[in-house]
Chains A and B, each alone.
Chain A
Amino acid sequence: MSMAEAIIITIIVASTPLLLAALGELVAERAGVLNLGVEGMMIMGAVAGFIATYESGQPIVGIVAAVFAGMLTASLFAFVTLVLVANQVASGLALTLLGIGFSALIGESYANKPGIKLSRIHIPGLTDIPFVGPIVFGQDPLVYVTILLVIGVSWFLFRTRGGLILRAVGDNHVSAHALGYGVVRVRFLAVLFGGACAGLAGAYLSLVSTSQWLDNMTAGRGWIALALVVFATWLPWRLAIGALLFGAVGILQFHAQALGIRVPAQFLSALPYLITIVVLVLISGNRLLMRSNTPAMLGQSFVPDR
């Protein structure tokens, strides 16, 4: 396998959890909910995925457990912010705190236990094509799930009535409510989807990127996912590209070092965040882009008037 091929595969592995978590958050934000608790949901998914896989011996059980854990964590947030109308920012932070602490608590006895790695698929014939083969046909199953999700979310948001309603709720919840759409219900489902994706992203970390559980192993990836959503101006395909970029920054840094090129590590690590700020400014300045893509109701609570 050539070096370029290997690098591309490593970048894909690094980017996938970012893309998954960001995709879920994108849907939630499109519905108008800002969930800062992505890190908390992700890490709950990671610990649940690891524990379930360890106990059952089957990675698929772990994946299901992780999705479930993410959704459960998200539902807590959804209840407090959508039903009880609490402040979304504070609730999101509380969720992150709770997630990190709780996952460490239940994961304590599983730290450093040997895990099971989800293996790559191998399609005879296709996977063996030089260069393209392993990249396109030799990834682990979750990569393909992620790609399908990107396609699915994109199609849902822009080509179905359901997606239209969701975006309407995110852009103007008062009007949406007046039109008879269940704002709270739509948002609840969107947040749950976000939790499911974040949980899956966490499982990717403990079942594919590594095969172990470690306290706080998400290491800030949830925050990067939040940045990614903005960087992609809330469009799924841009999200995929952004995730690859953000993932590549980390990988290429190591390659550069190994090649003897000096790279200031902290600057590279800060780069994704700096770029995101620049993008934010650019799209805010551009009225048209702003209006067409940023959910106007982002972060604002909604209580139906009777």
Chain B
Amino acid sequence: MLKRLMIATAALGLALGVGAAQAQEKFKVGFVNVGPKTDGGWTQGHWTGVEMLQKELGDQIEVTFLENVPEGPDAERAIEGLVQAGNKLIFTTSFGFMEPTLKVAAKYPDVMFEHATGFKTAPNVTTYNARFYQGRYIIGQIAAKMSETGTAGYIVSFPIPEVVMGINSFMLGAQSINPDFKLKIVWINSWMDPAKEGEAAKALFDQGVDIITQHTDSTEPLKIAQERGKLGFGQAHDMYDAAPKAQLTAIVDNWGPYYIARTKAAMDGTWESQASWDGLAEGTVQMSPYTNMPDDVAAAAKDIEAKIASGEFHPFTGPIYKQDGTEVAADGVVMDDGALLTMDYYVKGIDGTPGTN
């Protein structure tokens, strides 16, 4: 239904544009995504944000949402295609689009670009990301309280800083409740592969964990958790409907407010390049309702959520040690963003090194 609307909108927009003459010019916004809007995870999170954007700015804008654009040389063409079609503000939502975005941005200095999860900016390229680690800390605490075995399972994709940061934050949260908490980590080398994620979940449960969390995109691990009578956390998206008995909460990507703010700024000329990293405070990260847990655990979770959102507490507050005991943050000191964005080591208490190589 929405797709028909989009097709109609795009066709209409094209007809208007081609028809030249009178133009109540709609501001064109483009999105380049690596997956489909129905993936139930990352890309869908962005689509939900786009829906909010369309609701808010309605007829003032025209959105093109490209799906399944592979990272690599083809991405450059897709991005440039959007520019050629008249889009003035373009969001590229995957790390692998970094170089293509920068290349196209260099060619078109009047077009504004926003690259998610990257680290290179330019006068017309902003990077944006969400402080998911804040959510990880909260669920880490919940996990430590709800787990009977004191061990959680973590299903992850690739050992990039974002993922490692998430693991560390989760562990720090868990350790704040149970200093001896243990973590079993499985890398499946893919952002989304339901069958593999399911197998990884089964392997973890078979080995005795009773709570799982993931940094991969499908609902399969939670479904397995429910089948086994265990608990877990949703990722990027409220997965409660897929596993109502198993989901404790989910870290939800809420890009809507950010997209609305940036589009408005682009439209009224106040847009500027920045490296933005919003979190609970700005509403970019949200926690879905706390379910399947005793009231006091839920209350404590809401409490720490509020503290993080207000800035009263930061998950990466020292003392924090690397595995070998090196101190990376002294007592009471908060690690700065730069240190977080380049994190490639585990904190003390986690065995092994990130990745499978």
Contact = CB atoms under 8 A, between A and B. Distances in A.
Interface of A: 3, 6-7, 10, 14, 108-109, 111-112, 114, 205, 209-212, 214-215, 217, 219, 250-251, 254-255, 257-260, 262-266, 269
A10 B223 contact: no
A112 B356 contact: no
Given A114-B241, A251-B203, A265-B356, A108 B38 contact: yes
A10 B206 contact: yes
A215 B38 CA distance: 10
B316 to A, nearest CB: 25
28 contacts: A3-B206, A6-B205, A7-B206, A10-B202, A10-B203, A108-B38, A109-B38, A111-B39, A114-B241, A209-B198, A214-B39, A217-B194, A219-B196, A250-B196, A251-B203, A254-B186, A254-B204, A255-B206, A255-B207, A257-B185, A258-B186, A258-B203, A259-B207, A262-B356, A264-B356, A264-B357, A265-B357, A269-B189
Contacts of B207: 3, 255, 258-259
B199 A254 contact: yes
A251 to B, nearest CB: 6
B44 A112 contact: yes
B249 interface: no
B356 A257 contact: yes
Interface string B226-257: 00000000000000011000000000000000
B68 A215 contact: yes
Given A3-B206, A10-B202, A250-B196, A210 B36 contact: no
Contacts of B352: 260, 262
Interface residues of B, number: 39
A109 B187 CA distance: 30
B314 interface: no
Interface string B186-214: 11110011111011101111111000000
B153 interface: yes
Contacts of B198: 209-210
A211 B223 contact: yes
B204 A258 contact: yes
A112 B202 contact: no
Contacts of A263: 356
Given A111-B38, A215-B68, A219-B193, A255 B203 contact: yes
Nearest to A9: B202
Given A254-B204, A266-B189, 14 more contacts: A10-B202, A14-B199, A111-B40, A114-B241, A209-B198, A215-B68, A217-B194, A251-B203, A255-B203, A258-B204, A260-B184, A262-B353, A263-B356, A269-B189
B356 A214 contact: no
A112 B40 contact: yes
Ranked nearest first, the 7 interchain pairs of A and B with the lowest CB-CB distance are: A111-B38, A254-B203, A112-B40, A6-B206, A265-B356, A210-B194, A258-B184
Contacts of B38: 108-109, 111-112
Nearest to B184: A258
B193 to A, nearest CB: 6
Nearest to A212: B194
Contacts of B351: 260
Nearest to B190: A219
A112 B44 CA distance: 10
Contacts of B36: 108, 111, 215
A169 B186 CA distance: 48
B187 A265 contact: yes
Interface string B340-357: 000000000001110011
Nearest to B201: A254
Contacts of A257: 185-187, 203, 356
Contacts of B219: 112, 212
